[in-house]
Structure 1
Amino acid sequence: MGHRALVAYRRPDRLYDLRYSHWGGEDVSIGDRISAETSLASGAVDADLLADSVARDHILTDFLDPCIHELLYLVAPGTDYDVAAYRVCWLEWGDGRDDGRGAIVAVDSDDADRRVRTWFRATKTTLADLVEMGALSRRAAQAYLESRVCEDEDGTVYTYAGAEADLPDAEYTPTPDRWLEDDWWRDVTDDWETTETDDDWKPDDDQAGGPP
Structure 2
Amino acid sequence: MGHRALVAYERPDELYNLHYSHNGGLHLRLKRELTSRTPFGGKETNSRQELLTELLESTDSTDSIVEAFLGADDRPQTAVDVKPKTTRLTKDEILTEYLNYADTEAFYVVSSEFDVTAYRVHWFGLYNVADTAEASPLYGYGALRTVRWYDGESVGDGFVQGEFKTLKRITGDLLDRGVFTHEEAVEYLKQKLIAWTDERTELIIRTSSVSH
Structure-1-length-normalised TM-score: 0.70
- Look at both structures and tell me which one has the larger radius of gyration over its CA atoms: 2
2:151 aligned with 1:103, yes or no?
A: no
SS state at 1:49 partner: coil
Change (3 A) 1:74 1:140: same
CA distance in 1: counterparts of 2:116 and 2:83, whole angstroms: 19
| Correspondence for 1:89 among 122, 127, 135 | 122
CA distance in 2: counterparts of 1:73 and 1:160, whole angstroms: 21
CA distance in 1: counterparts of 2:82 and 2:185, whole angstroms: 40
CA distance in 1: counterparts of 2:123 and 2:100, whole angstroms: 9
How many pairs does the alignment contain?
162
Identity %: 33
Equivalent residues in 2 for 1:35-114 (5 A)?
Answer: 35-42=35-42, 43-78=78-113, 81-94=114-127, 97-100=135-138, 101-109=141-149, 110-114=154-158
Paired letter, 2:205: V
User: 1:5 corresponds to which residue?
Assistant: 5
User: Unaligned 5+ residue runs, structure 1?
Assistant: 166-212
2:27 aligned with 1:27, yes or no?
A: yes
CA distance in 2: counterparts of 1:96 and 1:138, whole angstroms: 7
User: Unaligned 5+ residue runs, structure 2?
Assistant: 43-77, 128-132
Contact 2:134 2:182 in 1 (8 A): no
Contact 2:137 2:210 in 1 (8 A): no
Contact 1:64 1:160 in 2 (8 A): no
Paired letter, 2:165: R
Give the CA deviation at 1:96.
5.7
Change (3 A) 1:138 1:162: closer
Alpha-carbon deviations, 1:108-157, whole Å to 9, x = none? 44333222111111111111112223333322211111111123225221
CA distance in 2: counterparts of 1:66 and 1:114, whole angstroms: 18
Give the CA deviation at 1:97.
1.5
Change (3 A) 1:160 1:48: farther
Alpha-carbon deviations, 1:153-185, whole Å to 9, x = none? 25221136533x7xxxxxxxxxxxxxxxxxxxx
Give the CA deviation at 1:107.
1.9
Equivalent residues in 2 for 1:116-135 (5 A)?
Answer: 116-135=160-179
Give the CA deviation at 1:47.
0.7
Contact 1:62 1:160 in 2 (8 A): no
CA distance in 2: counterparts of 1:111 and 1:6, whole angstroms: 21
User: 1:145 corresponds to which residue?
Assistant: 189
CA distance in 1: counterparts of 2:148 and 2:80, whole angstroms: 19
RMSD: 1.8
Change (3 A) 1:50 1:161: farther
Paired letter, 2:85: L
SS state at 1:98 partner: coil
